[in-house]
A and B are shown apart, each in its own frame.
Chain A
Amino acid sequence: MDQLLPPEIVEAGRTFPAALAACSDLDALLRLKGAFVGREASHATRLMELLKTAPKEQKRELGAAINGLKQQWEEGLKARQAELEAAKRKLGALAATWDPALPPPQPPCGALHPLNRLMDRLVDVFRPLGFHVEEGPEVETEAHNFDGLNIPEDHPAKASSDTFYLAAHPELLLRTHTSPVQVRTLLRVTPELTARGGIRFLAPGRVYRKDEIDPTHSPMFHQVEGMLVGHGIGMQHLKGTLEYALRALFGPDTEIRLRPSYFPFVEPGCEVDVSCPLCGAQGCRVCKGSGWVEILGAGLIHPNVLTYAGIDPNEWSGWAFGMGVERMAMMLSQTPDLRLFFENDQRFLKAMGGLD
């Protein structure tokens, strides 16, 4: 059969499969298609001209041969085109997707300060018991900071070695505890105490004492004060409230222990320990092997404090507590150095603060 065809076409036909395979993209395939089956100057057009001029008796045989060749080429081209198009689609699809394991853009994430978080948590814990938040100024009068709290005129805490005073206003100082908020709040609510059915509140805030800065001391720190005034309030109510709150804070198995102590603004006074939340009261470094950690000071409000605010201590009574926030934060986090809380390194804040 091949002797009927021009030798160069025979040669082209023989190399067609290799040429087809060599087309790596659609452009190359288009060029190959033009050369073999294009409408002008292609092998196919030349064969059709050859058929026209062929002797009649050869036409039938030649025609069949030409058709076979053309069909073979067209099918080959079509299949290769499908292949190349599929490959292109696949690349396109790949180009439109990113490996989700690539580090993605990170939504921003800051943090609340751990001390604020802890104070917020305490507020959350006391809210269901009907406590709200009272606040007061950090610059206080001696009267609110000391006198209204049954602190004697000559108490050593009043000395300028312990308390910061304002140069231009000798009667003003930086409050040494959150307790003046008690005085302010009681003075404010006294006229309506009966109508409102007593009062119960927390007073979180910053306080100042003249301590040199070192790993366990800071001239500024935080306290949370709690106070409740009602009818017939006794030590059992202090114990009940603190048991509820400290269990909410440290877990349902937490035990609390009251020990007698002394603060001028309460009587009776006590220190409150919790079973060590870090070791489950088994004894560890934090609780110094005792299983107990001192957590706050408390007591029944001294009648003089109520009287100062104009409240009759024969009708009303109450309890109060004060808690050191840094101390608790250091205990819970086992942060070795108090100064880290005021250094505000973002790494510390991110790790310790969180968002909620």
Chain B
Amino acid sequence: MWIERKVLAQEIPAAAALDTRQLCEVLAALGFPVDGVASLEGTESLDVDITANRGDAMSHRGIARELAAKLQQPLAPIATGVVPEGEALVQVRLEAEACPIYATAVLELGEGITPEAVQSFLRALEASPKRLSAVDASNELLLRYGHPTHAFDADAIRGAVSVRWAKAGETLATLDGVTRTLTERDLVIADEAGPIALAGVMGGDGTKVTEATRRVLLESAWFEPKVVRATARRHSLHTDASHRFGRGADPAMVRVARDLLVARLQAWCQAKLIGAWTAGAVPAPSAPVELGLALLARVAGEAVPLAAAQEALSRLGCVVTVAGDRLRVTPPSWRHDLSIAEDLAEEVLRLRGYEHIPSVLPPMEGPPEHLAPGYLQRQRVARRLAHLGFHQTVTYGFVSPEADALFASPDNPAAGRTLANPLGYEYSVLRASLLPSLKATAEQNLRQGSRQVQLFELAPTYRSTPSGPREQVTLATVWGGLLGGEDYLSPARAVLEADLAGLARDLALPGLPAIHRLSDGLFGFEIELDALPRLQDRIIPVFRPFSRFPTVERDLSLLVDLGQSYAALNQAMAAALPTDSLLELRCVDVFRHKSLPEGQQAWLLRMRFQADRTLVGDEVDGWVAAALAAAESLGAKLRA
């Protein structure tokens, strides 16, 4: 909120001696950082950040009170004239506990307008003066003392006034010109014809003060914060009044604010007081809160003398008595945020200054816990992929329904993963797959001129279940563009599916994942991270002896059909070979050329053998022949 320096100094004269920087530092140390300083109307104003729990500080008086406590300087007295109370001119009935006190007055307005100084103050705080004294005075009081008030056109009110719960379906045209349908949970001010104001939120249009208004009925009351907040939210009607009442106004200010308002109208436009009266009473203060010496020392990090704590809390307006090693503290009527011992400890620390808190490392009370295997696994995979040339991406967890549908399996309906209130259609579904996001990111990189795009993401994907979306940490990679061709030793070629198959193997994936062709020359795959083998518990695996006898290598060049399954051929050949001597069987070259019979290709299969003895040529020849026979049984032929 904007705090104007001259008016602040009227509330606490000592503040005038501080320069702006000093003032900002004191306020920040009290928990009210200043976000900016502005010069308007020839005066300086501070944009003070006030946390939601400190409704009491949301005024010049409130900030002054904090400064007075910190600086140990006096506040200026509030100058109220004496407003004699008398018989109620209009009956005010308080029918709901949410409004325990309602002070009012009726005045006959005379000639005159809002003083220039007040208009200037309002403009400096970006509140535009209305030149209607009753309205401007109410606004000025709010900004200065933090208590919202309201003025009705007294002649527009029919019969007695009551503060009551609205009847369901009742309507009220508020000052903003909107006709609102009320619920039984809305507190209203009503006359005998119906609601004339939403309590603590906004007045009604039918009873508003205009230039034609001759008599005003003033309202200064206290409304239950919860009720005001709920009504403001229900009607999406957030006003200065609802902001203050919603954070807890000071019930002790009800009469004071009414008196201040009366005095202003008398001074500004020769208003004549017809009568003033109050319905209800200031609610009793809540029970005192106890603050023990031990808790205070624990929170503060060092022993704080009880007397010092008592003194600090007294400066904040608390009534404090000492009972043994405890303080019994009754907070002032404006502080609704002091309800437990910790709240009081914070106040003591705040006034001493957080800079006095010592700095100590917390002692270990038990052994530290290990990092979880799943977490370590993700770190390991991310680092491996980064070393292999992949870039880790972070994309939004929600995508458009169309993008989601590209890779969502049919048993994972989007309905169970759809947001009720998305930022937009394109961000409305919690994604079933990371691939749509990575595809879009990769294509964007290629459009931006990347020769090769290598991306991966580790993030949850979602599966619809009856109890809600189930999260599964997922790894997706995409790879596309051109490999090599950027130096004299690496020939250029397009990225192929085989490159992703190699990557899957590098990550020790069990089996080959489904490799998707995402667009021309762009491939990707996705796996649930649980599919990866877990890290070994052992630092070093158990030693397995290996043969020191020489290996024997044999190649077979086979002609096979273009549609031949490699897995089937490999399996058949391996089955024909002795498992204890076969080290490796793999295709090391594929040859496709028009010189070969149509529909055929040549595969070069390499076998490596080793045993715990020197292998004999004849023996190996026999194995190779067996492997060839197995290949032939699948239609392969030895290539001449």
Contacts and interface: CB of A to CB of B under 8 A. Distances in A.
B230 A262 contact: no
Interface in A129-175: 129-133, 135, 137-139, 154, 156, 159-161, 164-170, 172, 174
Interface in A314-356: 317, 341-347, 349-350, 353, 355
Given A133-B375, A240-B361, A317 B489 contact: no
Sorting the interface of chain B by its residue count into under 10, 10 to 19, 20 to 34 or 35 or more gives 35 or more
A13 interface: no
A235 B361 contact: no
Interface in B343-385: 343, 345-346, 349-350, 354-355, 357-372, 375, 379, 382-383, 385
Contacts of A258: 354-355, 357
Given A167-B415, A235-B349, A244-B361, A261 B51 contact: yes
Interface stretch (A47-55, A86-94, A111-119): A111-119
Interface string B449-477: 01001110001101010011101000000
Nearest to A130: B368
Interface stretch (B26-34, B270-278, B308-316): B26-34
A334 B300 CA distance: 36
Most buried by B among A102, A105, A303: A105
Interface in B117-153: none
Interface stretch (B40-48, B189-197, B211-219, B418-426): B418-426
A292 B342 CA distance: 28
B448 interface: yes
B468 A154 contact: no
A239 B362 CA distance: 10
Q: Which of B362, B454, B462 has the most CB of A within 10 A?
A: B362
B487 A104 contact: yes
Given A235-B301, A341-B394, A344-B391, A166 B233 contact: no
Interface string A235-267: 111011101100000000000011111100001
A300 B349 CA distance: 13
Contacts of A317: 298
A237 B360 contact: yes
Contacts of B346: 260, 267-269
Contact of B233 (A159, A220, A303, A342): A159
A219 B396 CA distance: 8
Interface stretch (A1-9, A16-24, A67-75, A195-203): A195-203
Nearest to B388: A108
Contacts, number: 260
B349 to A, nearest CB: 6
A204 to B, nearest CB: 10
Contacts of B360: 236-237, 239-240
Nearest to B390: A110
Contacts of B385: 110
Contacts of A156: 233
Interface in A64-110: 98, 102-106, 108-110
A116 B371 contact: no
Interface string A270-290: 110000000000000000000
A186 to B, nearest CB: 14
A355 B342 contact: no
Contact of B462 (A139, A212, A241, A259): A139
B397 A133 contact: no
Nearest to A268: B346
A235 B394 contact: no
A110 B30 contact: no
A120 B375 CA distance: 11
B368 A268 contact: no
A122 interface: no
B389 interface: yes
A231 interface: yes
B340 interface: yes
Contacts of A197: 364-367
B445 A166 contact: no
A239 B455 CA distance: 40
A344 B487 contact: no
B488 A103 contact: yes
B392 interface: yes
B363, B367, B372, B484: most-surrounded residue (chain A CB, <10 A): B363
A125 interface: no
Nearest to A102: B488
B486 A164 contact: no
Interface residues of A, number: 93
Given A112-B386, A168-B416, A262 B370 contact: no
Given A111-B386, A154-B226, A220-B396, A259 B358 contact: no
B54 interface: yes
A269 B490 CA distance: 59
A36 interface: no
Contacts of A267: 340, 342-343, 346
Nearest to B384: A110
A161 to B, nearest CB: 8
B454 A236 contact: no
A160 B420 contact: yes
A353 B489 contact: no
Contacts of A113: 391-394
B369 A201 contact: yes
B184 interface: no
Contacts of A161: 421
Nearest to B340: A303
Given A198-B365, A240-B361, A267-B342, A349 B349 contact: no
B493 interface: no
A234 interface: yes
Contacts of B391: 110-111, 113, 344, 346, 349-350, 353
A210 B397 contact: no
Nearest to B349: A268
B430 interface: yes
B28 to A, nearest CB: 6
Nearest to A237: B362
Contacts of A183: none
Contact of B419 (A131, A167, A201): A167
Contacts of B419: 164-167, 174
B309 to A, nearest CB: 14
Contacts of A270: 354
Contact of B427 (A168, A199, A219): A219
A115 B302 CA distance: 38
A170 B468 CA distance: 10
Residue with the highest number of chain A CB atoms closer than 10 Å, among B51, B340, B360: B360
A27 to B, nearest CB: 31
Given A105-B490, A268-B349, 7 more contacts: A132-B369, A132-B372, A169-B467, A196-B366, A236-B358, A239-B360, A268-B350
Interface of A: 98, 102-106, 108-113, 115-116, 120, 127, 129-133, 135, 137-139, 154, 156, 159-161, 164-170, 172, 174, 195-201, 206, 208, 210, 212-213, 219-220, 228, 230-237, 239-241, 243-244, 257-262, 267-271, 300, 302-303, 317, 341-347, 349-350, 353, 355
20 contacts: A105-B489, A106-B487, A111-B386, A111-B391, A138-B471, A139-B430, A169-B416, A169-B468, A212-B423, A228-B362, A233-B362, A237-B301, A237-B361, A259-B28, A267-B342, A268-B299, A343-B441, A343-B444, A344-B444, A347-B448
What 7 A-B pairs have minimum CB-CB distances, sorted nearest first? A197-B366, A236-B301, A108-B389, A260-B31, A197-B365, A268-B346, A130-B368
